[in-house]
Amino acid sequence: MGSRASTLLREEEIEEIKKETGFSHSQITRLYSRFTSLDKGENGTLSREDFQRIPELAINPLGDRIINAFFPEGEDQVNFRGFMRTLAHFRPIEDNEKNKNATTSEPLNSRTNKLLFAFRLYDLDRDDKISRDELLQVLRMMVGVNISDEQLGSIADRTIQEADTNGDNSISFNEFIKVLEKVDVEQKMSIRFLH
Amino acid sequence: IGYLLPWRLCLGISITVWFTLLFFCTIVPAVLGVSFGMRRLYMATLLKIFEWATLRMEMGAKEKNQELYKPYSNIIAKEPSSSLLQEFQELRGSASCLSSEPEFELADIFYFCRRGMETIVDDDVTKRFSAQELQNWNLLTRSNNNFRHISLRLTVLWGLGVLIRYGVLLPLRVTLAVTGISLLLVLTFLVAFLPNRDEKVHLMCYRICVRALTAIITYHNRENKPQNGGICVANHTTPIDVIILANDGCYSLVGQVHGGLMGMIQRAMVRSSPHIWFERSEVKDRHLVAKRLGDHVADKTKQPILIFPEGTCINNTSVMMFKKGSFEIGCTVYPVAIKYDPRFGDAFWNSSKFGMVNYLLRMMSSWAIVCSVWYLPPMNREEGEDAVQFANRVKAAIAAQGGLVDLIWDGGLKRAKVKDAFKEEQQKLYSKVLVGEMDQNQSDDKHSQDDNPEDANNRN
């Protein structure tokens, strides 16, 4: 197929994306090529169907939640900037050492932002709280038909009990961070991008 | 009128020269089955030019301080992937295997999330359905991402290339192709009256077609060539695969009946040797198909059948799932691996992008089609092996020989959605992590077609 990828992406755009996400020049052009190969409609944006065409993603139990993370509230199309912004969350934290001229605000791939990404996978209605209902729904996605409602309910109850500190029967982002403070988030939520 | 005469004379002379050249350099050797070795010389020269061109491009890019786009490298380093069960076992530690309480952690989502993101950036399947990317530029803009005006010399060379390919090679090849097909139609008609000559006719016509594409083929291990009463299976990249294989032996083809020119060719071919053409309605009837194939191989006087079990064209970097139909018949299978050299012209037919005519034009205006064909030793179904396992064994042998990636994914994913059963498999595995082993009757079948692709790939 050999798309004319690098010629369609302007140098200024590459620089902007570099500043915002911390990816290197060659990584950005390589990912742009991937973006265009997924964009079957050739209109510069990806729709949900474009993602679902990837078989290995379609068989992932949380595939739909992951795809959803790319699309801002209420939108059906994601452009290359949005694509890169979401992928930037998965850059390894060590890579930031090499790119000292990143923005002064917190980089997209900081530990907190990675945790926020995972939190939003659970938080279906984006109200900054994981309710029992939402947890149940996500659990159901992960286990399919193999576990009964009662068992799943008790798993959800126990999880909320352990995490909830202010007694509102749901998990806020701070409570989420507390529960996961011993987990090596940096390693588990990172992809090794080659240069 | 006076000034027209020398012009017409020139035209007349050039056409005569053209046709004599054509006749002696291509058709006569095709008829007699000899080769002058000109094509290999051509190939070697082209390679030298390509290397030079790529070097110029790299130097030019360095001078202008631009980054050269390297499309063939990997974006991410994938861990030597462990299966879902292995990863969660590491996470939980061995103690939890004994516990009967469901062990869920909020962090479990990280596994699915990271895996999902990795496939968005680089997956194993979708890239098989588009043309492979090249390391050296081969002077075809269609395969180049760095084509900018790097230097005058390079652009001139490219322009020259275009002139030669479209002005000289293309008309030459089209003429040859037309000659080849016409000869096929005429001679197969005549051959009906001379029953013993059909093999020669067949081979001759295919040799002309091969020259029409400037196909430079190297056959390996010809002692393993398919015999009568067997089925020849090969990986599928393009309809030209048929010409490549039929150039070296007589096969019975299997396919749907078409109308128009294709239909005429099909009817002509049947006159000289037994091919198996199905009506569109019969294709769905698996028993009918199996019966006709079975009858054909039972008759030892009939040629081996040629089948492409992938069912669709793949881009020649991998071999995808073999459909079990041809492996159920119970006869000897002769595997063949075909590997194209992408530097001279990409042979892959991307049927969602190009129609047949467009594809043939691109083929005939490439530099050449260079490929290697390996005949593998015959294989039979072993005791206790079912059709699917046999198919996978043959597929692995072909992939190993051709240097292709052995995938368990179905080539039909080019157009169809993946089956829900695979997602359900993943969900089942995760449930096991949460609550431990399930009852006996819920455990998955071992050797079904719906084997979990991720885990199966990890096993390979």
Whether B373 and B225 have beta carbons less than 8 Å apart is answered as no
* pLDDT score at B446: 37
Query: Residue A81: inside a domain, yes or no?
Result: yes
Query: pLDDT digits over B236-263, tens only?
Result: 998 889 889 988 888 888 877 777 777 7
A114 and A63 housed in the same domain: no
Report the alpha-carbon distance of residue A78 to residue A63 in Å, rounded. Answer: 16
Query: Residue A96: inside a domain, yes or no?
Result: no
* Mean pLDDT computed over A128-140: 91
Burial label, B162 (beta-carbon count in 10 A; 0-12, 13-18, 19+): middle
Q: Into how many domains does chain A fold?
A: 2
* Among A131-135, B20-24, B200-204, B346-350, the least confident range: B20-24
Chain B hits for A151, Cβ within 8 Å = 102, 435
Comparing B356 with B111, the larger pLDDT belongs to B111
A84 and A116 housed in the same domain: no
* pLDDT score at A77: 92
* Mean pLDDT computed over B415-422: 86
Query: pLDDT digits over B140-194, tens only?
Result: 665 555 555 556 777 787 788 888 888 878 887 888 788 778 877 787 777 767 6
* Mean pLDDT computed over A8-35: 87
A76 and A131 housed in the same domain: no
- Looking up tokens 């939190």 gives A119
Beta strands A171-172; A129-130: pairing state: antiparallel
Query: Residue A4: inside a domain, yes or no?
Result: no
* pLDDT score at B401: 93
A60 and A125 housed in the same domain: no
| A125 vs B: CB within 8 A | no
A63, A151, A192 ranked by CB distance to B435: nearest? A151
List alpha helices for chain A, DSSP H.
5-8, 11-21, 25-38, 48-52, 55-58, 63-70, 80-88, 111-122, 132-143, 149-163, 173-179, 185-188
* pLDDT score at B136: 64
Buried b vs exposed e over A81-100: b needs ≥16 C-beta within 10 Å?
Answer: ebbbbbbbbbbebebeeeee
| A174 vs B: CB within 8 A | no
A38 and A64 housed in the same domain: yes
Please provide the DSSP assignment of B2-53 as one string.
Answer: TTHHHHHHHHHHHHHHHHHHHIIIIIHHHHHT---SHHHHHHHHHHHHHHHH
CATH number at residue A50: 1.10.238.10
Is B117 in contact with A191 (Cβ distance < 8 A)?
A: yes
* Mean pLDDT computed over B444-455: 43
Give the CA angle between residues B354, B360, B362 to the nearest 5°.
Answer: 75
Closest residue in B to A28 (Cα) is B75
* Among B35-49, B212-226, B410-424, the least confident range: B35-49
Query: Residue A78: inside a domain, yes or no?
Result: yes
Q: Which domain holds residue A17?
A: 12-89
Sorted by sequence, the CB contacts under 8 Å of residue B458 that are 6+ apart come out as B81, B82, B83
Comparing B80 with B304, the larger pLDDT belongs to B304
Report the alpha-carbon distance of residue B314 to residue B319 in Å, rounded. Answer: 7
Residue B229: phi, psi to the nearest 5? 80, 15
Q: Looking at B304-382, which runs of residues are DSSP E strands? A: 305-307, 318-319, 333-341, 369-375
A122 and A171 housed in the same domain: yes
Report the alpha-carbon distance of residue B249 to residue B228 in Å, rounded. Answer: 11
* pLDDT score at A104: 57
Report the alpha-carbon distance of residue B291 to residue B187 in Å, rounded. Answer: 31
Query: Residue A97: inside a domain, yes or no?
Result: no
| A55 vs B: CB within 8 A | yes
Is B130 in contact with A1 (Cβ distance < 8 A)?
A: yes
* Mean pLDDT computed over B314-342: 90
* pLDDT score at A5: 44
Whether residue A98 is predicted with pLDDT greater than 70 in this model: the reply is no
Is A144 in contact with B143 (Cβ distance < 8 A)?
A: no
A33, A38, A60 ranked by CB distance to B116: nearest? A60
A144, A180, A183 ranked by CB distance to B431: nearest? A144
A120 and A190 housed in the same domain: yes
Query: Residue A7: inside a domain, yes or no?
Result: no
Q: How confident is the model at residue B126 (pLDDT cuts 50, 70, 90)?
A: confident
Query: Residue A6: inside a domain, yes or no?
Result: no
Interface confidence, given as ipTM, is 0.90
Report the alpha-carbon distance of residue B179 to residue B392 in Å, rounded. Answer: 41
Give the closest residue to B386 by CA, choosing from B444, B315, B319, B449. Answer: B449
Report the alpha-carbon distance of residue B410 to residue B422 in Å, rounded. Answer: 12
* pLDDT score at B440: 33
* Mean pLDDT computed over B74-89: 72
* pLDDT score at A109: 86
A115 and A61 housed in the same domain: no
